[in-house]
């Protein structure tokens, strides 16, 4: 019977690390026309490392120490990388208070009596002058690094660059989706230059510089049905808005709860496997 075929497909999926929350979700996955991917932690490993630190009128270690203090209150993958770099340099990181995340823009906190921020360059530029850092930021971004600016309320104090690598199977999985007639789009809050450099080996459309609300809007505008694949807290609204929300393994609880399906193993190929599982099951029933 129909329910039996679906039930057995769902449990076959689970054995392979493809968690599908019910028959309706399984059916929907096979008819998806566009897959929208988050970048950090979805197409990339989500474990960036700090590749460069530059101080403006302060030593690099001071930039790292203060940036790590600001980031210690953030759950963003970039924050974890900055804190790890400070620890690796055996710096003593001061306590920050009043940490405030600005999704898609950066994070601020009070450190040693000063309000400091670590911000995306585009956001920092609306608050403090970036002259002197511009050329550096541009060159880093063109090489696929994400640059963030440490600043206070009036000036830039330094620059940090971070790099996150594509998952091993990202290119082959995106190519497999396209071979199945499914479009692929990258939706990211990271800047255009970095996103294009990182995504260069992938055959997909890049939409960069997006705030969480922009991602949400685009999910509603792409040729549907749309599947959204993401892992972060910021992605939960987009996962909910998509016809099919797919949470990537190791993601946040919020993403897992919101999603229609979850990839328990952190492999992009899991999305392709879900499409095959759905089409095979529905083909058998019809």
Q: Which residues of the chain form contacts with ligand ADP (CB under 6 A)?
A: 38-40, 71, 74, 76, 78-79, 104-107, 118, 120, 146, 148, 188-190, 232, 234
Smallest separation, CB 255 to Mg ion (Å): 9
From CA 284, how far away is CA 263, in angstroms rounded? 23
Q: Nearest CA to 50 among 73, 13, 77?
A: 77
Instruction: Tell me whether residue 80 or residue 180 sits nearer to ligand ADP (CB atom).
Output: 80
Q: How many CA atoms lie within 13 A of 244 on its CB side?
A: 33
Site of tokens 């900055």: 82
Instruction: Tell me whether residue 17 or residue 212 sits nearer to Mg ion (CB atom).
Output: 212
Catalytic residues: 38
**How buried is residue 153: exposed, middle or buried, by Cβ count under 10 Å (0-12/13-18/19+)?**
exposed
Find which of Mg ion, ligand ADP, none residue 104 binds, CB within 5 to 8 Å per kind: ligand ADP
Residues 230-249, one symbol each (x = binds Mg ion by CB under 5 A, - = not), give --x-----------------
Interior angle at CA 230, CA 282 and CA 226, nearest 5: 45
Q: Nearest CA to 163 among 283, 47, 280?
A: 47
Smallest separation, CB 234 to Mg ion (Å): 5
Smallest separation, CB 278 to ligand ADP (Å): 27
Please give the radius of gyration of the chain, using alpha carbons only, rounded to the nearest integer.
20
Query: Which residues, listed in sequence order, are joined to residue 268 by a DSSP beta bridge?
Result: none
Smallest separation, CB 164 to Mg ion (Å): 10
Residues 30-59, one symbol each (x = binds Mg ion by CB under 5 A, - = not), give --------x-x-------------------
**Residue 281 binding Mg ion, by CB under 5 A:** no
Q: Are 225 and 33 in contact, with CB atoms under 8 Å apart?
A: yes
Find which of ligand ADP, Mg ion, none residue 26 binds, CB within 5 to 8 Å per kind: none
The residue ranges that bind Mg ion (CB under 5 A) are: 38, 40, 232
């Amino acid at each position: 019977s129909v329910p039996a075929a679906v039930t057995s497909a769902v449990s076959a999926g689970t054995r392979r690390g493809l968690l599908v929350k019910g028959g309706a979700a399984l059916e929907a996955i096979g008819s998806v026309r566009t897959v929208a991917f988050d970048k950090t932690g979805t197409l990339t490993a989500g474990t960036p490392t700090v590749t460069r630190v530059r101080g403006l009128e302060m030593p690099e270690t001071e930039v790292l120490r203060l940036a790590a203090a600001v980031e210690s209150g953030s759950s963003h993958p970039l924050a974890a990388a900055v804190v790890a770099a400070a620890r690796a340099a055996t710096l003593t990181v001061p306590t920050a208070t009043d940490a405030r995340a600005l999704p898609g823009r950066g994070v601020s906190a009070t450190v040693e009596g000063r309000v400091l921020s670590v911000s995306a360059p585009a956001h920092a530029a609306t608050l403090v002058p970036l002259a002197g850092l511009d050329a550096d930021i541009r060159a880093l971004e063109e090489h696929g690094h994400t640059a963030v600016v440490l600043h206070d309320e009036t000036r830039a104090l330094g620059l940090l660059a971070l790099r996150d690598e594509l998952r091993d199977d990202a290119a082959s999985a995106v190519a497999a989706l396209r071979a199945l007639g499914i479009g692929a789009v990258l939706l990211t809050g990271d800047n255009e230059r970095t996103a294009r450099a990182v995504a260069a080996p992938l055959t997909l459309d890049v939409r960069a510089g997006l705030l969480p609300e922009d991602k949400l809007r685009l999910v509603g505008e792409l040729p549907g049905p749309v599947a959204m694949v993401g892992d972060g807290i910021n992605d939960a609204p987009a996962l909910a808005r998509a016809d099919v929300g797919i949470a990537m393994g190791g993601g946040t609880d919020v993403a897992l709860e919101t999603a229609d399906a979850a990839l328990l193993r952190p492999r992009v190929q899991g999305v392709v496997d879900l499409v095959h599982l759905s089409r095979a099951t529905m083909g058998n029933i019809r």
